[in-house]
Amino acid sequence: MIQVQQVNHTFLIGKKGKEKKVPVLKGLSFEVKQGEIVAIVGKSGSGKSTLLHTIAGFMSPEQGSITVNGQETANLNETERAVFRLNNFGFIFQNFQLMPGLTAFENVELPLKLKGISPKKRKESVEQMMDKVGLTEVGDHYPNELSGGQQQRVSIARALITNPPILFADEPTGSLDSETEQDILLLIQNLNQTLGVTFVMITHDEEVASIAHRTFKMRDGELVKGDAL
Amino acid sequence: MLFKDQVDFVRQHIKKNKLRVFMTILAATMGCAFLIVLASIGFGIQDTMRKEILQDQAITEVEVYPNENEELNLEEIKSVPYIGAIVQRTSMDVMTSFHLEDRSIQGNLLLTDMQEEEQSNLKLSEGRLPQNESEIVVGYHFAQNLWTDAERAKVVEEEADLPKGYEKSIIGKTVTLSLQPYDSEDAFSEQWEFTVVGVVDIPARDWIIDQSILMDKLWLSKLKGTYEENAEQIPENFTYTTTKIYTDSLEHVKSVTKDLKDMGYNVYSVSEQLEQIDVFFMAFKIGLIFVGTIAVLISSIGIFNTMTMAVTERTREIGVMKAIGASPKLIQRLFLMESAWIGIIGTVLAVIISYAVSYLANWILPMVVGTSLGEDGLQDLSITFSLIPWQLVVLASTISIGVAMISGWRPARKATKIDVIQALRQEL
């Protein structure tokens, strides 16, 4: 499903003209299979977020190739990448990244709007999804009227509404208390099992990593543990 | 994204910043309204001048004058296409007095061809055109200036109110004509009788007093002969002829004017004067629109500022939108729609306000000017201070909405360039 081959990336840090090259990804190669939950763990600055951003197409790697569902993402232009993300990826962020001016229902509906789905079909799909993530009662609430767990559920519902084959989660429980964290992890497992969604998670929480089928550990831009290709 | 959803999206964002958007729309409205009202003054004055000119003269009328010591070649002129009628009116250098009962008037006798007058659509207020030599048509004020000697003396001595003249209908009345040279105290003994069969239409201007008499041109030789018999010598330039050509339609005035000029005649037509006025006012209006556009440009700074603020404020939202699959083109379109919306609402309001200002200006200004000049009559004059034709509305709207979109362009481009990773890192 996702093939990462010899990916290298360097950041330039410092004042203009006096930049310093800092390698963040060093020859990474691995594969994620369909229906897997993969956790990428590592300390801050280990390069795990950069890796996720690279796979998700938010940035292009300097070297190497990333193939998702047979499509080399580095070859796509910005508009093509946006469309590719819309059709193939869902995103769950640590701080939920919900639109504050939209209700929970409207937040979940947003990707369907971007896809140009008719209002009638959208309503049906969103209602089903809200039911699935247990948010039926709070559809007309704004994000600031929801608890952290509810906001993350909205975020998950938004990520899943377009039925993407791959879901990226960046510290999905980082802003939640331990009880809510358990709920969200159960939800992720449930969705993985029932819908067959592939999850790629970034976390430094051992408990979150424990639900993964495989775990890649990163240190200083390298995979130090995991099933490399 | 469906168009309706795009509109909803823009509307939601505008609702969130009502006051800021309102102030921006206000600036756009003021800029556009200033442009329209300023340019409308040019259109208004032009319209007033056109009306003034058209009141003076029939629009199909072309005046022709021969060069010095030359005469018009009527046969040659008749060969010009699209000529409907050639009216030549001849006046004589002699006092022509008309008498009716105990009243008399020194009218302006004009000898003309009645058939040509008919073809030129000479308008009468009553009666008909003469059908024989003994019938005449008189000017609109002919009857009211038929005074008795006593009335005339009273006017001269006491500066009293003007007498009302002959108050009965003049149609069918017989008037007597006598001639008297300007340097003589007595009129010639010969007199001629004529029947008044028509009265010419009221003049276009209130201040024009028409006490002319239109008589068949056959009388010219008779009257001239009488003068020659009675006077010691006939003055040089005893007769003076004006020639007016009437084209068969408005669109041919230009070609007829050109043809006559090519023949070497001196020509004057309303269309020529209108053309000159139009050229002048075109330059004048362009100047006004230019000044007005500066106001629109100033208001566009507000739009630029608002849109830049909107993009900056929504950086994180834009980042999320891009992350979940919104294309840069869509992001750009949404922001352009927002600035266009500001421009459109501002323009619509500006058009409404401009029409109101224009209406008020045309209603109040004549009163104010009239009062300050102490002339009550000014209110009756149809002076257009401001006129907003649809072309001006279209032009101003295009400028205003175009400028709004251009000022929204850069912020919209900035929105597309927002880095997803940086945007997602922004604090909530």
Domains, chain A, ranges and CATH?
2-217 (3.40.50.300)
- pLDDT above 80 for A93: yes
Angle subtended at Cα B71 by Cα B68 and Cα B73, rounded to the nearest 5 degrees: 140
The closest of B70, B72, B108, B97 to B87, measured between CA atoms, is B72
Q: Which residue of A89, A101, A115 is in closest CB contact with B12? A: A101
Instruction: Tell me the backbone φ, ψ of residue A101, rounded to 5 degrees.
Output: -85, -5
Q: ipTM of this model?
A: 0.90
Answer whether B317 sits within 8 Å of A78, measured CB to CB: no
Answer whether A113 sits within 8 Å of B2, measured CB to CB: yes
In chain A, which residues have their Cβ closer than 8 Å to the Cβ of B330?
A: 114
In chain A, which residues have their Cβ closer than 8 Å to the Cβ of B334?
A: none
How far is A122 from B153, CA to CA, in rounded Å?
99
Q: How far is B47 from chain A (nearest CA, A)?
A: 52
For chain A, give the mean pLDDT.
Answer: 88
DSSP string, B138-172: E-TTTGGG-EEHHHHHHHHHH--PPP----S--TT
Q: Which residue of B12, B326, B428 is in closest CB contact with A82? A: B326
Answer whether A85 sits within 8 Å of B323, measured CB to CB: yes
The closest of B358, B340, B423 to B28, measured between CA atoms, is B340
Give the confidence band of B153 by pLDDT, cuts at 50, 70, 90.
confident
The tens digit of pLDDT for each residue in B364-399 reads 888 887 777 766 555 455 678 899 999 999 999 999
Closest-CA residue in chain A for B329? A79
Average pLDDT score over residue span B339-343: 91
Answer whether B324 sits within 8 Å of A111, measured CB to CB: yes
Answer whether B323 sits within 8 Å of A118, measured CB to CB: no
Q: How far is A118 from chain B (nearest CA, A)?
A: 8
Answer whether A93 sits within 8 Å of B424, measured CB to CB: yes
In chain A, which residues have their Cβ closer than 8 Å to the Cβ of B320?
A: 97, 99
Say if residues B83 and B248 touch (Cβ distance below 8 Å). yes
Answer whether B324 sits within 8 Å of A58, measured CB to CB: no
* Residue B342: count of CB within 10 angstroms of its CB: 29
- Whole-number pLDDT of residue B129: 92
Q: Which of residues 368-427 of B touch A (CB under 8 A)?
A: 420-421, 424
What element of type H or E holds B121? none
Closest-CA residue in chain A for B332? A79
Most trustworthy range by pLDDT among A29-43, A214-228, B69-83: A29-43
Average pLDDT score over residue span B171-175: 92
Answer whether B420 sits within 8 Å of A118, measured CB to CB: no
How far is B171 from B136, CA to CA, in rounded Å?
10
3-state secondary structure of A173: coil
How far is B134 from B312, CA to CA, in rounded Å?
92
* Residue B425: count of CB within 10 angstroms of its CB: 12
Q: Chain A: which residues have CB within 8 Å of chain B? A: 53, 56, 58-59, 78-79, 82-83, 85-87, 89-91, 93, 95, 97, 99-102, 110-111, 113-116, 118, 158-159, 162
Say if residues B305 and B59 touch (Cβ distance below 8 Å). no
Residues 6+ apart with CB under 8 A from A158: A90, A98, A107, A108, A110, A111, B324
CA distances from B111 to B24, B91, B108, B174, B211 (A): 70, 6, 10, 18, 14
Beta bridge partners of A201: A39, A169
Answer whether A118 sits within 8 Å of B325, measured CB to CB: no
- Whole-number pLDDT of residue A229: 37
Chain-centroid distance of CA B358 in Å reads 17
Residues 6+ apart with CB under 8 A from B265: B64, B65, B66, B67, B72, B77
Residues 6+ apart with CB under 8 A from B305: B24
How far is B196 from B211, CA to CA, in rounded Å?
13
- Whole-number pLDDT of residue B166: 87
Going B281 to B287 to B289 to B295, the CA torsion angle's sign is: negative
Amino acid in the structure at residue B45: I
Average pLDDT score over residue span B136-147: 91
3-state secondary structure of A35: coil
Amino acid in the structure at residue B122: L
DSSP class of residue A45 equals: T
The closest of A184, A157, A155 to A96, measured between CA atoms, is A155
Q: Which residue of B2, B13, B325 is in closest CB contact with A86? A: B325
In chain A, which residues have their Cβ closer than 8 Å to the Cβ of B13?
A: 101
**By percentage, how much of chain B surpasses pLDDT 90?**
35
